[in-house]
Structure 1
Amino acid sequence: MTTAPATGSMRRLSPRVVVGFLLLCELASGFAQGFYPPLLGEIADHMRVSDADITWFLTVQTLGAAVCVPLLSRLGDVFGHRRILRIAVVAVIVGGLLTAFAPNYETMLVGRLLTAPEAAWLPLEIALIHNRIKGDTARSSIGLLVSFLTGGLILGTVASGLIAGAMPSLTATLLVPVVFGLVAVYAAFFKVPESTERTRVRIDGIGFAGIGIAMIALLFGLHLASDAGFGAPSTLITLAVAVAIFVAWVAWERRSESPAIDVRMVVSPKLGPAYLASFLFGMVLFGTQTPITTFLAADPAEVGYGFAAAPGTVSAIMGLLMIMATVGAGAFAPIARRIGMRAVLIAGAALAAGAWAFQIAMHSAMWHMYLFALVGGIGMGLLMGALPALIAEAAPSDQTGIAAGIYNSLRTLGGAAAGAVFAVLLTAFTPVGELASSVGGYVAIWTFSAVAFVVVAIALGTMRIADGEAVAGEADTDTHELEGATR
């Protein structure tokens, strides 16, 4: 591990100013992620593509992120997190411009692929913060990063339809997240100091290629499973290839002197439980969004459950869930200062498990759904803020970027796995000749979610976590050190 000096006028920036600009980066990132999905129908009409083809607008970015996140996070540990963040920010801006001005759908998909590095912004920013700030101050900053990301997601989703109706063309509409993202360019190039620690390793090209190919194959296989089921030959072949590549990759990484990802670190008692929790959390967080929407929209006169909810009502409940998650992520650090990090993590998992258990027992009145969103959102928000902060604290100081990147990748992988598993569950409970699942399919998903958070609570309860006055003391010391370094 080596130390690189801070340079330029950025030495004079206070920690709060630096964190503030990183928060604006995550706000822009969340805005873009929330902005595009409501426009898929309009994009499909404009490009004259089918409903099946338009799904690739989001899928291609997810697959690209599977490669970008571990690669860019690790390169940040080696060459500097700000340097790699700059590359990622520029790639996203170029991709956004190409998406807006694309003359055909194929070019638009290339643009979407170029925006994939956006998923690496958060791990790189976490590493930038944790490189200089420790303890409670770092926890608060990371919690705010997640809050601004989630808040940006809500803002982008709400603003998308309003802006589309006011713009003269689709191109003008698609330029909005690009303009919004220019603040990230300004922050990365002019307002964020470089990280000071480097890991001195040889770049493991084979390792990065292996994990990238394995992730793409696995995500694509899960995408096939959500459409055709796990028993389809195409699904089985793709998943088998993914598993074979992953096994070979693990064997290579265990023998490598400078692995792309330290497998022993990932499965160690120090970090393994947190990564297991991240995967399960991603399954529920991302995998249940569609089932919640379809349950609310189901007509009870036809299928015996649901509320025939209008899009506005569905948005209100999903919005409440995300707003409370934003609050929980931002509030976890002050709460942890009082009751300890372990208690916050377990409380978040317990609240989320309780919300899903309540959903199993009570789902016949609209107030049940609002109460579920209120409690579940807070619980999941606490985990959204606390988990990346915990992983950054537990990781070696010269591997913070890749440690946070693995967290992001596992959440994404969990969401993809849940999408396929939950689709199979709903199909299994769909009566022959019918299009809608019985309520048993939804109860099965809610049961899975409740059990997943119970496992999360148990896994996190086994970890050794720094708590109490030592952390507060660290925060004060590290903040003073940072202020001295940035003056």
Structure 2
Amino acid sequence: MVVTLALGGIVVSLMQTIVVPLLPEFPRLLNTSHSGAAWLVTANLIAGAVCAPVLGRLGDMFGKRRLLLVALALMVAGSLLGAVSDVFGVVLVARALQGAAMGVVPLGISIMRDELPPERVGSGIALMSSTLGAGGAIGLPMTGVIAEHFSWHWLFGGAAVLGLVELVAVWRLVPESPVRSGGRFDFGGAVGLSVALVCLLLAVTQGNAWGWGSGPVLGLFGASALLFLAWGAYELRIGRAGDADSARQPLVDLRVSARRQVLLTNIASVLVGFAMFTSFMVSAQIFQAPRDTGYGYGMSLTLSGLALLPGGLMMIAFSPVTALLSRCRGPRFGFLVGTAILMVANLVRVVAPHQLVVVIVATAVTSIGAAFAYGSIPAMIMQAVPVTETAAANSLNTLARSIGTSVCSAVVAAVTTASVMYVAGVEFPTADAYAAVFAIAAGAALLALGVGVFVPREGAPEHGTHADVGTAALPLSETDRDRIRITP
């Protein structure tokens, strides 16, 4: 079960990266503009951001395995659609359907919490959480080979095969969780959150192309802020009504999400996503840049992917270490260790010479830090939420990490296009631009470390919560006891 769910995490990461190697070629292949091709990433990101909390809440209500199968089925359908079409609009829809895979990781983590014995929960969720970053590094060599030597349709066809194998494995090997919250789905909350997220992520991902000070971008940021405020007020009202009406439950219980441990962990997750993704994103560009830039190595897609492979392997290899450290010292300690490593690794990239061995080692060390931080985050979240809200809470945290990687992409694009050089008539970022990017990433890791320091220590629960990793639960009201069925 653990292996099956962890492979699902790798599949999720692949859905986010499979089109990256061919983004410069898609304008020609799909008869679109460069800004249109960028939507192949944006559509996937937005769909994943919307699907993750919705599938998480539905999983808590109606069965996590059931919704896990739904997410995988949508991903397979999108992959098959992209494998057989050359029309840009159809491929864009295919990428949006692939975004549904984002719900696989929080649902898988929640199933592990419900099904595994207590001594296995920590290692299982650490592995599952780490695959969210490791899959990108492992998938880049594979997608690079396909992009260089085969038709681009095989990127989607291969994803369909992997998704189908994972679908069958989940069907055969993963049991349904007996923990259900029941109730009525919050459609109003789902629509409000979806629209607010679309406005926010659209502004972040298109800011560099449209201009950060342009009317559309500023309007989207303003609309997003207003929509989030209105959505929050609505969710709080639904939550209060739910105390009296057991059929009504908010999409996200903001009273739980506002607890210091949950809130600070989600804020830190945004910063960790930024600090981690910088290395993967920029390192690939440095590996492929020509040697005449003074920092590049002129590698092919395949070779640059292989240079990133040690980073992905480190994330998987260190996930058991993360679980051991969390069990001995608590997940908060593992998170602080991880963010400290991320900060140091990014600082090294600012001042270290541009030698291939140094870059590869620094990328691998960044992955080790990400493994510690990512592997600890779900346990920190689950210490503070009821078992009936595990999937929804982890979905919100996965969304926070995705926002961090999205902001990272936008910042990297803005900084690297602001300082450029020309080599053989082609525009490339300067070495100083990349140094600035890593300095910003180190600052993000430092902020994450600072936020993590204020996360409550294990064993000191606040407001009557129980801080037992793997079996965290909140005190239940009489109404809750009547409406929630929990298998001992």
Deviates more, 1:410-419 or 1:40-49: 40-49
Shift of residue 340 of structure 1?
3.6
What is aligned with 2:342?
352
What is aligned with 1:280?
271
Q: Distance in 2 between matches of 1:87 and 1:61?
A: 17
Shift of residue 123 of structure 1?
0.7
Residue among 80, 83, 94 paired with 1:100: 83
Q: Distance in 1 between matches of 2:304 and 2:276?
A: 17
CA offsets 1:388-426 (integer angstroms, 9 cap, x no match): 232233322111001110111111112222222333334
Consecutive aligned runs of 4 or more in structure 1 exceeding 6 Å deviation = 431-434, 473-476
- Amino acid in the other structure paired with 2:296: F
Maintained 8 Å contact 1:229/1:424: no
Count of matched residue positions in the alignment of Structure 1 and Structure 2? 458
Which structure 2 residues correspond to residues 217-366 of structure 1 after superposition, within 5 A?
217-257=199-239, 258-297=249-288, 305-311=294-300, 314-366=304-356
Q: Distance in 1 between matches of 2:237 and 2:136?
A: 41
Residue among 105, 110, 119 paired with 2:102: 119
Which structure 2 residues correspond to residues 73-472 of structure 1 after superposition, within 5 A?
73-102=56-85, 104-133=87-116, 135-163=118-146, 170-171=152-153, 174-257=156-239, 258-297=249-288, 305-311=294-300, 314-429=304-419, 435-466=427-458
Maintained 8 Å contact 1:214/1:246: yes
Q: Distance in 1 between matches of 2:144 and 2:346?
A: 31
Maintained 8 Å contact 2:69/2:170: yes
TM (norm. structure 2) is 0.83
Maintained 8 Å contact 1:280/1:414: yes
SS at match of 1:194: coil
Maintained 8 Å contact 1:350/1:379: yes
Percent identity (aligned):
25
SS at match of 1:260: coil
- Amino acid in the other structure paired with 1:269: R
TM (norm. structure 1) is 0.84
CA offsets 1:325-352 (integer angstroms, 9 cap, x no match): 2323343112333444332211111111
Shift of residue 67 of structure 1?
1.1
What is aligned with 1:481?
none
CA offsets 1:94-113 (integer angstroms, 9 cap, x no match): 11111112252212222222
Residues 383/134 of structure 1: CA separation in 2 closer, same or farther (3 Å cut): farther
Residues 149/446 of structure 1: CA separation in 2 closer, same or farther (3 Å cut): closer
Maintained 8 Å contact 2:382/2:469: no
Residues 155/446 of structure 1: CA separation in 2 closer, same or farther (3 Å cut): closer
Q: Distance in 2 between matches of 1:277 and 1:129?
A: 23
RMSD after superposition? 3.3
Q: Distance in 2 between matches of 1:98 and 1:291?
A: 30
Maintained 8 Å contact 1:143/1:331: no
Deviates more, 1:376-385 or 1:142-151: 142-151
SS at match of 1:198: coil
Shift of residue 210 of structure 1?
0.8
Q: Distance in 1 between matches of 2:230 and 2:183?
A: 21
Shift of residue 50 of structure 1?
3.2
Maintained 8 Å contact 1:147/1:327: no
SS at match of 1:360: helix
Maintained 8 Å contact 1:307/1:366: no
Q: Distance in 2 between matches of 1:233 and 1:78?
A: 41
Maintained 8 Å contact 2:137/2:280: no
Q: Distance in 2 between matches of 1:299 and 1:44?
A: 23
Shift of residue 173 of structure 1?
5.3
Shift of residue 34 of structure 1?
4.2
Shift of residue 39 of structure 1?
4.2
Residues 284/228 of structure 1: CA separation in 2 closer, same or farther (3 Å cut): farther
- Amino acid in the other structure paired with 2:397: Y
Residues 249/149 of structure 1: CA separation in 2 closer, same or farther (3 Å cut): closer
Residues 300/193 of structure 1: CA separation in 2 closer, same or farther (3 Å cut): closer
